[in-house]
Structure 1
Amino acid sequence: MNDAVKPNIKPYHEPSEKEVRLVIAASSAGTVFEWYDFFIYGTLASLIGAAFFPSGNETLQILLVWAGFAVGFGFRPLGAILFGYLGDRLGRKYTFLVTVTLMGIATAGVGMIPSAATIGLAAPVIVIAFRILQGLALGGEYGGAAIYVAEHAPPEKRGYYTSFIQASVVGGFVLSIAVVLACRALIPADDFAEWGWRLPFLLSIVLLIISLWMRLKLSESPVFRAMKEAGETAANPFKESFTYPGNKKRIFVALFGITGVLTTIWYTAFFSGLSFLRRDMRMEELSVELILFAAGLLSMGMYVIVGRWSDRVGRKKPIIIGALLALVLLFPVFWAMGSLANPGLAAAARDNPVMVTGQECSTDPFAELFDREQSECGRILESLTASGVAYDVAEGDTLAVTVGDSAVAIAPEWMADGTARREGLQAALAGNGFDFSRQTPSSPAVLGILALLLVLGGLSALTYGSVAALLAEMFPPQIRYSSMSIPYHIGAGYLGGFLPLISGFIVARTGDVYAGLWYTWVVVAFGVIVAWWGLPDGPPRDFDDRG
């Protein structure tokens, strides 16, 4: 055994119930605020695109926004290494005080950046820089908050207590929507689009002050204090995370069997659901935000229920059940949401199928960005995809678009002007039963969409609700912060954080608004295999019990 890392560390102080409640409240509130800071970017994706990534190509614009979203996630593993090292060396409390401060400052900074129309290319560059800082901060936040609560919790309630941290992640998303809804209610629509969207970012300063006030009331984790007192903290937590016996397998399982599953289901449920309804199904924005707010708020309790259940049945069972159900239900849930959100679009596509023929009939979403020539057929396909219209493609010598039995007259100016092309195609399709106006579904349809989103929320809760406790139990205390943060943030940063970009690219390439779900399905399918093989069966056990 590695002498530098000894698993049998016992706290020299058992926290009281009052102390534990304060720990959970302060840690959860800080996590809500920090995830709010990170998610407000995705919640306001369309306005972010218009301000910082303007483009005549709607598909490219949203992909650039999601690329900026992904950059923040891409730096989460580096933040996990940096703050994991500090958390294992210097302590849990002070490390996540630093992370929440960094996040708050970076988020407020995004709200102060002049638009691209004012300072040009510098605007997206500065946005990306702040997203990098957010990613670094978030890489240290989750591990710190989860471990801090886990190390205060009695073993028989660890899943229950730490489930509040998981629910707080959803709470950050819910808070971001709530703030946006409040701003929309108080600020006229044109003013909100012009400058009002910045207020949710600036609010981060207030949330930062509240979070620091709450967390400064906390004392250090009793487990870390015991290690410090005994002089048994790790000398190099990052190195020892990979040299401790059996840890490489545990990191692999944590990455693919736990994080890969939970993070792709989570982002599919909330961010893909948001984008799908608002963009692809063309639902009225306020309706989408209200539905997502309600779904997120109602699903928060599911994470706590699952966490408590895992204290009795073990951590593996909920994850496996949730992942297997996701494989079965993912596509049907989105198909059903699409039919409820915009039934006319599906009916029109069925009654009047769109066929595009021509040479080089494939679309290149990044052609404009990299100054590549897009084929004429590819431009038509891009505009159809941006309009949420499904199509079939056939090779032919002449560019042609047919809707049912009708041919669409392609105007010469369409090839040079993306806006004219999109509007012209939509006008032609509207004459064949397609409706491109913003949709406001009936009350029964809204309730149906809400129910389907709650199904996705339930799948997320099953695969996420017990994870903080499970990851804390998988690794020895001296390297726990590093060992759990590294795989968690690699998985969440790359497998989950890049999901909107990857799925959006798949949709853009295929023209099928449901095709992006295959990314989630494949990641979850692989994760089920890894989890089944690598996670322990039976009731929860501390790392000590595994040896």
Structure 2
Amino acid sequence: MMQTSSPPTPKGIWKVIFASSAGTVIEWYDFYIFGALATTIASKFYNTGTPIGDIIAWLGTFAVGFLVRPFGAIVFGRIGDLVGRKFTYLITITIMGSCTFLIGLLPTQDVLGAWAGIILITMRILQGLALGGQYGGAATFVAEHAPQGKRGYYTSWIQTTATLGLLISLGVILVTRMGLGEADFNEWGWRLPFMASILLVALSLWIRSALKESPLFQQLKDTKAVSKNPLKESFANPYNLRWVLIALFGATMGQGVVWYTGQFYALFYLQKIFETPLIDSNLIVGAALLLSMPFFVFFGSLSDRIGRKKVMLTGMLLAVLTYYPIYGLMAAFAPTDPGQHFLFGYIGYNPVMLGILVFIQVIYVTMVYGPIAAFLVELFPTKIRYTSMSLPYHLGNGVFGGLVPMIGLILINATGNDFAGLWWPMAIAGICMVVGFMFIKETNKVDISDASTSISVKHESDQRALDK
């Protein structure tokens, strides 16, 4: 018999959102600092013989952090379903912040030789593991406090934090660079953004420690209904596993590639392919991110009314159809003629137009990312929710999305085609859109306070009824 409970009260929901979002901002800030400084410090830790080789090695290290995120999802998802949401994300942010601070202190290859790169990879692995457990905790914690009918709206505030983390990281880098000057920043000033994160982590731990446990999970503990084996119930149960796979191939992998293309990859293209000055590129992307942030909440709220599926798949479709024209226009407005074009000839440097084109890409990000937390939470019952939702999310974002920069650069180098870097995100988003259209069930009416209404549980019950 499925357990039911009264819906959680919305009282204090904004305190929960603020506390969860504050920590998430910091964790994403930590993660993005590493990516945003790739062109500045890659050669300080790797010596492949060429600058582009050093950057590929750096992006490989960056990718390692993404590749281990699914393992972090399994480890910390299990802890979250066994022990609690609050305890788990206190651990994850401590690991994340400590590693970021230590990277700021890490000697370069001039001092440690190859060990510098090895230690750096170790720090990235720990960061990736921590981040793998963090998102599921934040999304689940907020969703389990949110009132029925507004879950997309409230959880979408968490989605703004990833963009805000990137925005803050770009701002800190920009201010530090301008304050120290180019020479000092390249020599030692790049360490300061890493080291500054320790103050933000301390603030987040203080805020989060004051929160109580999620009401739905607390009810499971009070009634001794907590899962005894979340991994087995999530992945050995064929009915639940089916929805884990649908979540991955029909939602999160497409969301992941759109997310990284619109935010991180756009910055990479501006800096490395179109040779936009570093300060200009940071300002262009930063302005686009800032202007787009309200749209996370808009599309999250819209998904409460018309459904998560419609909003997310529309964002993927637009990305597939328009990435090539958008990047063709970006080439047309680059600082210098890149020599390769699509549809448009070279027009001349126009940072405003570049900002508009990045903004359009980030709108797609808000469409696929705004509803995703509510969608994943609603797929699975409370007792295995943290574990079940974390794995597809981090496979989609960490593997399919996190590999966008590295695979894109490899494709560009292999083909000599500047636009080949778009093939991976377009292909993955296209496949995901088709799978999602065929197999995703709408979830926006699911009452998560009643385990029997979770999509995976309803499917299992319906299937067993048919088998009888």
Normalising by the smaller structure, the TM-score range is over 0.9
Question: Match for residue 462 of structure 2?
Answer: none
Cα shift readout 1:411-447 (whole Å, capped 9, x = no counterpart): xxxxxxxxxxxxxxxxxxxxxxx9xxxxxx75xx111
Instruction: Say which of 361, 364, 368 aligns to 1:463.
Output: 368
Instruction: Say which of 297, 310, 313 aligns to 2:303.
Output: 310
Question: Match for residue 107 of structure 2?
Answer: 114
The CA deviation at 1:82 is: 0.6
Instruction: Say which of 519, 522, 525 aligns to 2:427.
Output: 522
CA, structure 1 residues 348+136, in 2 after alignment: closer, same or farther (shift >3 Å)?
A: closer
Cα shift readout 1:189-243 (whole Å, capped 9, x = no counterpart): 1000010000000011101101001101111000000000010000010111023
Instruction: Say which of 40, 47, 60 aligns to 2:33.
Output: 40
Question: Match for residue 5 of structure 2?
Answer: 10
TM-score, normalised to structure 2's length? 0.93
* Contact persistence 1:315–1:539 (CA under 8 A): yes
Question: Match for residue 137 of structure 2?
Answer: 144
- 1:286 matched to 2:279? The reply is yes
* Contact persistence 1:166–1:465 (CA under 8 A): yes
The CA deviation at 1:155 is: 1.5
Q: Considering only aligned residues, what root-mean-square deviation do their CA atoms show, in Å?
A: 2.0
Question: Match for residue 168 of structure 1?
Answer: 161
Supply the distance in 2 between the matched residues of 1:520 and 1:245 (Cα, whole angstroms): 29
Question: Match for residue 225 of structure 1?
Answer: 218
* Contact persistence 1:41–1:48 (CA under 8 A): no
Q: Which amino acid aligns with 1:21?
A: W
What is the correspondence of 1:508-547 to structure 2 with a 5 Å cutoff? 508-537=413-442, 539-542=444-447, 544-545=452-453, 546=455, 547=458
The CA deviation at 1:471 is: 0.3
Question: Match for residue 502 of structure 1?
Answer: 407
Supply the distance in 1 between the matched residues of 2:41 and 2:228 (Cα, whole angstroms): 43
* Contact persistence 2:72–2:130 (CA under 8 A): yes
Question: Match for residue 466 of structure 2?
Answer: none
Supply the distance in 2 between the matched residues of 1:348 and 1:248 (Cα, whole angstroms): 44
CA, structure 1 residues 232+295, in 2 after alignment: closer, same or farther (shift >3 Å)?
A: same
> Which consecutive segments of 4 or more residues in structure 1 shift more than 6 A?
347-350
Question: Match for residue 474 of structure 1?
Answer: 379
Question: Match for residue 405 of structure 1?
Answer: none
Match of 1:346, SS state, is coil
Question: Match for residue 199 of structure 1?
Answer: 192
Supply the distance in 2 between the matched residues of 1:204 and 1:345 (Cα, whole angstroms): 37
| Deviates further, 40-49 or 125-134 | 40-49
Supply the distance in 2 between the matched residues of 1:245 and 1:121 (Cα, whole angstroms): 45
Supply the distance in 1 between the matched residues of 2:98 and 2:9 (Cα, whole angstroms): 32
* Contact persistence 2:275–2:336 (CA under 8 A): no
Q: Which amino acid aligns with 1:83?
A: F
Cα shift readout 1:245-299 (whole Å, capped 9, x = no counterpart): 6212211111111111111011111121111111111111100011111111111
* Contact persistence 1:9–1:477 (CA under 8 A): no
| Same amino acid, percent of matched pairs | 41
Gaps of 5+ in 2: 459-468
- 1:81 matched to 2:71? The reply is no
Q: Which amino acid aligns with 1:66?
A: L
* Contact persistence 2:253–2:395 (CA under 8 A): no
Instruction: Say which of 251, 269, 276 aligns to 1:276.
Output: 269
CA, structure 1 residues 507+539, in 2 after alignment: closer, same or farther (shift >3 Å)?
A: same
Q: Which amino acid aligns with 1:219?
A: K
CA, structure 1 residues 522+16, in 2 after alignment: closer, same or farther (shift >3 Å)?
A: closer
CA, structure 1 residues 493+349, in 2 after alignment: closer, same or farther (shift >3 Å)?
A: closer
Supply the distance in 2 between the matched residues of 1:175 and 1:536 (Cα, whole angstroms): 36
- 1:485 matched to 2:393? The reply is no
Q: Which amino acid aligns with 2:53?
A: L
The CA deviation at 1:15 is: 3.5
Question: Match for residue 461 of structure 2?
Answer: none
Instruction: Say which of 143, 155, 159 aligns to 2:152.
Output: 159
Instruction: Say which of 324, 327, 339 aligns to 1:331.
Output: 324
Supply the distance in 1 between the matched residues of 2:216 and 2:94 (Cα, whole angstroms): 24
Supply the distance in 2 between the matched residues of 1:349 and 1:207 (Cα, whole angstroms): 43
The CA deviation at 1:541 is: 2.1
The CA deviation at 1:348 is: 10
Cα shift readout 1:469-504 (whole Å, capped 9, x = no counterpart): 000000010000000001111121111111111111
Supply the distance in 2 between the matched residues of 1:137 and 1:80 (Cα, whole angstroms): 8
Supply the distance in 2 between the matched residues of 1:166 and 1:516 (Cα, whole angstroms): 26
Question: Match for residue 59 of structure 1?
Answer: 52
- 1:50 matched to 2:43? The reply is yes
Q: Which amino acid aligns with 1:492?
A: N
- 1:319 matched to 2:312? The reply is yes
Match of 2:210, SS state, is coil
* Contact persistence 1:9–1:223 (CA under 8 A): no
Q: Which amino acid aligns with 1:111?
A: G
- Structure with bigger gyration radius: 1
Cα shift readout 1:78-98 (whole Å, capped 9, x = no counterpart): 111110010000000010000
CA, structure 1 residues 168+91, in 2 after alignment: closer, same or farther (shift >3 Å)?
A: same
Match of 1:154, SS state, is coil
Supply the distance in 1 between the matched residues of 2:138 and 2:6 (Cα, whole angstroms): 18
The CA deviation at 1:540 is: 3.2
**How many residues are aligned here?**
451
CA, structure 1 residues 187+232, in 2 after alignment: closer, same or farther (shift >3 Å)?
A: same
